Structures are given as structure tokens and as C-alpha cells.
């Protein structure tokens, strides 16, 4: 029972005479229920590519991406969506759906074709909102939520999906420290209850708080992978980002 | 729920009113009792007003429902059922048949239906050939191209048409009208229209799922390109069938879904059925005006565009439509 990337590589096909651009090479990583891994690295280091490979949106050019031992590409889409939830960094909101109806869309992989969500689906959507302390927002239009509220409501949609594996692309971007803390608390609770979590972030303190493991990516290679307290240290962060890091830069909001 | 009941009640009232409005025995409302005592009134009701009322209902339901479905699966409140070239294709087909001397209105309708579907097919094929933008943008662009191409062909046919006998027919056709809607034409178009309505009814929650970004709906196990294509074909088939017998009726598919969303919410589970009912009521009302306000018959496209454009402006100004972009 795990999500495994075994020496995966990926390259974007260059158009015309331009050579292929390697986005990720020979990366291996395993994620199990009850564990959380944070992915950090500079822009363009391959974080989103790795998340794309782990969620099955991208297919590796070499190596293999397996969920419960089966290649992601062989999974039926709906079955995969019941098992694994992927949350894009940002999404356009087409209409002013009430938050509850928006979260209900997470039931899509469970609702048979041509059918409507049933009472049980509503119950799951409500439970997901309650889980994140968002009951009060149920009737609010998603277009009127603050950035932090919206991020949590989108996470609630992933929970309504009922997936064991949560793959989040920069969930804490655009959140103020209080909302980032709220999100990190929610993620910790989910992991404690047996969900598996893989997320990208630029926020080392957030990563250290929300994840027990961390991975550093640089120029398409995994340069460090291990317990968060051993990986998110000034020396390794400096080597990865090329900037001086100090422990003091961790805001107190994440000190437990 | 209360609002759905209100919409259905309003539709029934519009339908009943439509059956009473007319110019027999004098302009205004025919007294209902008259249908029991007067043979002429009864024939008028059964052979003229009833099929036309049903035709107006179906036309409005198809245009409204297709508009709501399109706006939902494109996540865009400004697309309408004709935007993939269907309306212009149908107009060209009808004009071509008229110029070639088709006397039978059924041949004109068949030609319109055929060219409407051909335009849809061309738009879908062209959107796949384009190497620019995502699926939604490519469809919008190919719709513009096909519409413009069909408009040019239409203009050419109009140029070749006999200005005294054929041109007025073509012009009237492009402005829409239900004057020729008898039982025969209604029964010819109804099967496709009803199948389309039924299909959209079944797909209505799926349409909400598809309104999300492709990346988000794909993460929920959907196949956005494929499923969007299915919704487009189901919706457009109904529109093409009704347009073939009614001519081009503009604005209904654009403005009715906006009104429906302000009334019952944006979720397509509610907004597609509400748009069908409100579209039907709107076309009944407009056609009632078109055939009774003036001594002659006004093209249906005139009141739908007048009321449609006005209510569109009012809706957008009222800020209750609240779309994100």
C-alpha cells in the first residue's frame, strides 16, 4: 500500500530544433499512508513535474510510477481519483457556486455517469467542510471567499473525494501566516488519521510543521530526502537555493 | 424548490395565455368558453395555436437548455448555442434551398438542418487542427471562423437571389419565425429536440463538473475534452433541429441562462432545467407578441433580441450574476 516513484525521469518535448528539456532525472520517492512529504526547491527545479508524475498526469520517460504496485497509467481514471486526490496550485472559478456544492464536486469519481449526487454524497461533502472547521461557509459563494478560506474549501473538495493520497501543489502560497498555520494544522490532523500527503512549497517553516519528511530538488535532481528536521537545515537549504538561511527566519507562528 | 415551482407555474401560465392570444374573433384574447361553442375557434386552437405553442415551447427549451449547458461546460457565461457556426450554417442551408427553388418548406428545413450539422462538424474538426490555445479557446476561434465563412456564403446566395420573390423569404428566415409551425413540422423536429433535452437533463451535473478548470476536473476522474464534446453534440443537435423549422432566433440561448442562474443558482443541476423552462416561457411570450401586436406577423427574432438585449443589460448591471471573470 504505497505510492512509489522508482528512478523516474521526465523531459518536455522541445518544438522544432530545440533539444528536449530534462525536467526531472532519476528521482525515487515512496509515500505511505500516515506519512507526509514536503517538496522544496527553486522555481523550475522540477517540483511540479514530480507532483505531475506522482499524480499520473505526466508519464515518466523512464522509471516507473506505481500506486499499490500498479503503474498509474494503467489505473482507470475514476478509480484513481477515488484513491488519489490532486489539487492544482490555482484554479479559475467559473461561477459563484455555494461552497457546499463546490465541495460536492469532489464526489464526481463516486457518482455514476448520468446520475446526480445522492444524500450520502451530500453527507460526505458536509463532513469534509466540518472536518476543516468550515461549516459556517457552506452557503457562501466560492467567488466571495478570502484566499485562505478558498484554499481550505478546495482542500475540503479533495477530502470529499475520499482519497487516501493527497497531492497538493503549493497549498500555502498566497496564505497569510494565520491561514498557513490553519492549513498546516488541518494537514497534520489528516496525516495523523492515516492520509498520505505530498505537497510542494517554498515555505520551509510551513514544510517543517506540516510534514515529517522533506525532499529538496535542484535542477531536476533530488538532492536530499529524509526526516524534515534533518533536511530543512540551513546548510542544505543554502546549497539548494543559493541564499543564506537562518533558523531565526522561521516565524514564531510555526513554533510548537 | 419554491423557485422551481414558480418557474414551472409561470411557464404554464405563459402557455395558457399563448393559446388565448390572437386575432380571432377579434384582436386580443379569445374567451376560453368560445372553444367549446365555436367550431372555427376550436379548429384554430387545435390546428394552429396548439402546434405553434408547442413549437415555441420546444424551441425555447432547446435554446435555453443548450445555452445553459454550453455556458457551464465552457465555464464562460458569454457563449451561446449558435457560436459554433450552427446558426449561420443553418441560414446558409435554408437560403441555398430557397434560391435553388425549393417550394416545399420541409426541404428548406432539411437543408438548414444538414448545413447546421455540417458547420458544427467543421468547427469541431477545425478546433482540433488549430495549434493555439486550450480546447475552449480553440473552439471559440473555430466557431468564429466557421460563422464568418457561412455568413460570406449566405451573403453570396442573397446576392444571387431574386430580390422580389426569394430575398424576402431569406431575410424573414434569418430573423426567425414560427408562422409555418404546424403539426407536420413540429412532429418532424420534435424527436431530435426531445432527445437533446433528455440528454442535457441527464448530463446536468456532469456539466457542473466540467465547468471547473480542465486540470481540476481531470483530477476528479473526468475526461473534459471528450465529455465536453458529448455535451456540445447533444445540445447542438436539438438547436439545429428546431432552428431548421423556426429560422434563427437570437439572444434566447445567451440571456435566458443568465436569468436562470440569478434565480436558481449557477449549479447546472438547477440552471439547465430552469433555463429550459424559462427559455420556453420567454419564446412563448415573444412569439405571442410577434403574432398579435401588429396586424402582420413580426419576425420572432425582433422581440427576442429587443427583450433579450434589454434584460441582458439589466442583469449585468444588477451585479447579481456575480461571475468571477
Task: Check pLDDT > 80 for residue B233.
Answer: yes
Nearest chain B residue to A55, by CA: B219
In this complex, which of A108, A109, A116 lies closest to B269 when CB atoms are compared?
A116
B212 domain residue, yes or no: yes
B137 CB within 8 Å of a chain A CB: no
Contact A88 B322 (CB under 8 A): no
B324 domain residue, yes or no: no
- Residue window 148-207, chain B: list those with CB within 8 Å of chain A: 202-206
Contact B202 A114 (CB under 8 A): yes
B55 domain residue, yes or no: yes
Domain span at B185: 2-318
For B258-302, what is each residue's pLDDT tens digit? 999 999 999 999 999 999 999 999 999 999 999 998 888 899 999
B325 domain residue, yes or no: no
For B56-85, what is each residue's pLDDT tens digit? 999 999 999 999 999 999 998 888 888 889
| DSSP one-letter string for chain A | --EEEEEEEEEEPPSTTSPPEEEEEEEEEEE-TT-EEEEE-STTSSHHHHHHHHHTSS--SEEEEEETTEEGGGS-HHHHHHHEEEE-S-----S--BHHHHHHGGGTTTSPTT----HHHHHHHHHHHHHTT-GGGTTSBGGGS-HHHHHHHHHHHHHHTT-SEEEESSTTTT--HHHHHHHHHHHHHHHHTT-EEEEE-S-HHHHHHH-SEEEEEETTEEEEEEEHHHHSSHHHHHHHHSS---GGGS-GGG--
| Closest CA–CA distance from residue B136 to any residue of chain A (Å) | 13
Give the phi and the psi of residue A196 in degrees, each rounded to 5.
-105, 140
- Among A35, A84, A82, smallest CA distance to A192 is for A35
Which residues make beta-bridge pairs with B11? none
Tell me the chain A residues in contact with residue B218 when contact means C-beta distances shorter than 8 Å.
Answer: 57, 77
Contact B76 A105 (CB under 8 A): no
B227 domain residue, yes or no: yes
Nearest chain B residue to A108, by CA: B220
In whole angstroms, give the CA distance from residue A139 to residue A103. Answer: 11
State the pLDDT at residue A250: 55
B8 domain residue, yes or no: yes
The three cell numbers of residue A29 are 520517492
- For B29, the enclosing helix (H) or strand (E) is strand B28-29
| Closest CA–CA distance from residue B322 to any residue of chain A (Å) | 6
State the pLDDT at residue A32: 95
User: Average pLDDT in the B5-23 region?
Assistant: 94
Contact A93 B324 (CB under 8 A): yes
| Residues from A in contact with B at Cβ < 8 Å | 55, 57, 77-82, 85-88, 91-98, 101, 105-106, 108-109, 111, 113-117, 141, 143-144, 161
User: Average pLDDT in the B102-120 region?
Assistant: 88
In this complex, which of B220, B223, B324 lies closest to A94 when CB atoms are compared?
B324
Which candidate in B134, B206, B219 is best for mutational testing of the A interface (most A CBs within 10 A)? B219
Tell me the chain A residues in contact with residue B75 when contact means C-beta distances shorter than 8 Å.
Answer: 92, 94-95
Nearest chain A residue to B262, by CA: A96
B78 CB within 8 Å of a chain A CB: no
B102 confidence band (pLDDT: 50, 70, 90): confident
In whole angstroms, give the CA distance from residue B2 to residue B263. Answer: 11
| Closest CA–CA distance from residue B206 to any residue of chain A (Å) | 7
B213 CB within 8 Å of a chain A CB: yes
- Hey, what's the torsion of the CAs at B74, B76, B79, B80, to 10 degrees? 80
Task: Check pLDDT > 60 for residue B229.
Answer: yes
B208 CB within 8 Å of a chain A CB: yes
- Hey, what's the torsion of the CAs at A68, A72, A77, A80, to 10 degrees? 30
- CATH number of the domain where residue B118 is located: 1.10.3470.10
State the pLDDT at residue A175: 86
Tell me the chain A residues in contact with residue B265 when contact means C-beta distances shorter than 8 Å.
Answer: 97-98, 101
Look at chain B and report how many structural domains it folds into. Answer: 1
State the pLDDT at residue A255: 55
Per-residue pLDDT tens digits of chain A, which is 256 residues long: 899 999 999 998 766 555 677 899 999 999 999 999 999 999 989 999 999 999 999 999 999 999 999 999 999 999 999 999 999 998 999 999 999 999 999 999 999 989 999 999 999 999 999 999 999 999 999 999 998 899 999 999 999 999 999 999 999 988 888 889 989 999 999 999 999 999 999 999 899 999 999 999 999 999 999 999 999 988 899 999 988 877 645 555 565 4
B283 domain residue, yes or no: yes
| Closest CA–CA distance from residue B241 to any residue of chain A (Å) | 23
B169 confidence band (pLDDT: 50, 70, 90): confident
What integer best gives the mean pLDDT of chain B?
92
B30 CB within 8 Å of a chain A CB: no
Which candidate in B135, B220, B234 is best for mutational testing of the A interface (most A CBs within 10 A)? B220
| Closest CA–CA distance from residue B266 to any residue of chain A (Å) | 6
B323 domain residue, yes or no: no
Task: Check pLDDT > 80 for residue B303.
Answer: yes
Tell me the chain A residues in contact with residue B215 when contact means C-beta distances shorter than 8 Å.
Answer: 57, 88, 91
**What ipTM was estimated for this complex?**
0.91
Contact B266 A78 (CB under 8 A): no
Domains within chain A, CATH numbers bracketed: 32-56+76-241 (3.40.50.300)
Tell me the chain B residues in contact with residue A150 when contact means C-beta distances shorter than 8 Å.
Answer: none
In this complex, which of A96, A106, A116 lies closest to B205 when CB atoms are compared?
A116
State the pLDDT at residue B28: 86
Which candidate in A94, A118, A122, A161 is best for mutational testing of the B interface (most B CBs within 10 A)? A94
Tell me the chain A residues in contact with residue B226 when contact means C-beta distances shorter than 8 Å.
Answer: none
Amino acid at each position: 500500500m504505497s505510492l512509489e516513484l522508482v528512478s523516474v525521469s521526465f523531459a518536455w518535448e522541445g518544438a522544432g530544433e530545440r533539444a528536449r528539456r530534462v525536467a526531472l532525472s532519476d528521482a525515487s520517492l515512496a509515500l505511505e499512508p500516515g506519512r507526509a512529504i514536503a517538496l522544496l526547491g527553486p522555481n523550475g527545479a522540477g517540483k511540479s513535474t514530480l507532483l505531475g508524475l506522482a499524480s499520473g498526469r505526466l508519464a515518466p520517460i523512464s522509471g516507473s510510477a506505481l500506486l499499490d504496485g500498479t503503474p498509474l497509467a494503467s489505473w482507470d481514471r475514476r478509480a484513481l481519483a477515488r484513491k488519489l486526490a490532486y489539487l492544482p496550485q490555482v484554479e479559475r472559478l467559473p461561477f459563484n457556486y455555494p461552497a457546499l456544492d463546490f465541495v460536492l464536486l469532489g464526489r464526481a469519481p463516486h457518482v455514476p455517469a448520468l446520475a446526480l449526487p445522492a444524500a450520502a454524497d451530500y453527507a460526505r461533502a458536509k463532513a469534509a467542510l466540518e472536518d476543516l472547521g468550515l461549516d459556517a461557509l457552506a452557503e457562501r459563494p466560492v467567488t466571495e471567499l478570502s484566499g485562505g478560506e478558498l484554499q481550505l474549501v478546495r482542500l475540503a473538495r479533495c477530502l470529499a473525494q475520499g482519497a487516501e493520497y493527497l497531492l497538493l501543489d503549493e497549498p500555502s502560497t498566497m496564505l497569510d501566516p494565520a491561514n498557513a498555520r490553519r492549513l498546516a494544522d488541518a494537514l497534520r490532523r489528516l496525516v495523523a488519521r492515516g492520509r498520505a500527503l505530498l505537497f510542494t512549497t517554498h515555505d520551509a517553516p510551513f514544510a517543517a510543521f506540516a510534514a515529517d519528511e522533506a525532499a529538496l530538488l535542484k535542477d531536476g535532481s533530488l538532492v536530499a530526502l529524509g526526516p524534515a528536521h534533518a533536511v530543512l537545515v540551513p546548510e542544505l537549504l543554502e546549497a539548494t537555493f543559493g541564499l543564506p538561511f537562518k533558523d531565526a527566519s522561521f516565524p514564531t507562528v510555526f513554533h510548537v | 424548490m419554491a423557485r422551481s415551482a414558480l418557474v414551472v407555474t409561470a411557464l404554464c401560465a405563459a402557455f395558457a395565455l399563448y393559446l388565448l392570444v390572437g386575432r380571432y374573433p377579434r384582436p386580443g384574447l379569445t374567451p376560453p368558453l368560445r372553444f367549446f361553442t365555436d367550431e372555427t375557434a376550436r379548429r384554430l386552437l387545435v390546428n394552429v395555436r396548439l402546434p405553434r405553442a408547442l413549437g415555441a415551447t420546444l424551441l425555447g427549451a432547446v435554446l435555453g437548455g443548450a445555452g445553459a449547458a454550453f455556458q457551464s461546460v465552457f465555464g464562460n457565461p458569454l457563449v451561446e448555442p449558435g457560436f459554433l457556426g450552427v446558426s449561420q450554417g443553418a441560414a446558409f442551408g435554408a437560403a441555398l434551398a430557397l434560391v435553388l427553388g425549393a417550394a416545399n418548406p420541409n426541404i428548406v428545413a432539411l437543408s438548414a438542418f444538414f448545413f447546421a450539422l455540417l458547420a458544427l462538424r467543421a468547427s469541431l474538426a477545425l478546433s482540433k487542427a488549430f495549434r493555439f490555445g486550450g480546447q475552449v479557446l480553440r473552439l471559440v476561434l473555430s466557431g468564429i471562423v466557421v460563422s464568418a465563412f457561412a455568413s460570406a456564403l449566405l451573403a453570396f446566395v442573397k446576392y444571387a437571389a431574386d430580390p422580389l420573390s426569394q430575398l424576402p423569404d431569406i431575410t424573414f428566415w434569418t430573423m426567425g419565425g414560427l408562422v409555418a409551425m404546424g403539426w407536420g413540422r413540429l412532429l418532424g423536429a420534435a424527436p431530435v429536440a426531445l432527445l437533446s433535452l433528455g440528454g442535457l437533463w441527464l448530463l446536468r451535473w456532469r456539466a457542473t463538473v466540467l465547468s471547473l478548470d480542465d486540470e481540476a476536473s481531470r483530477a476528479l476522474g473526468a475526461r473534459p475534452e471528450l465529455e465536453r464534446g458529448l455535451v456540445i453534440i447533444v445540445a447542438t443537435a436539438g438547436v439545429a433541429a428546431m432552428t431548421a423549422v423556426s429560422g434563427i432566433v437570437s439572444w434566447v440561448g445567451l440571456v435566458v441562462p443568465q436569468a436562470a442562474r440569478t434565480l436558481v443558482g449557477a449549479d447546472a443541476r438547477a440552471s439547465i432545467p430552469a433555463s429550459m423552462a424559462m427559455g420556453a416561457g420567454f419564446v412563448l411570450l415573444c412569439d405571442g407578441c410577434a403574432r398579435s401586436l401588429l396586424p402582420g406577423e413580426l419576425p420572432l427574432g425582433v422581440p427576442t433580441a429587443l427583450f433579450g438585449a434589454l434584460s441582458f443589460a439589466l442583469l449585468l448591471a444588477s451585479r447579481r450574476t456575480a461571475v468571477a471573470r
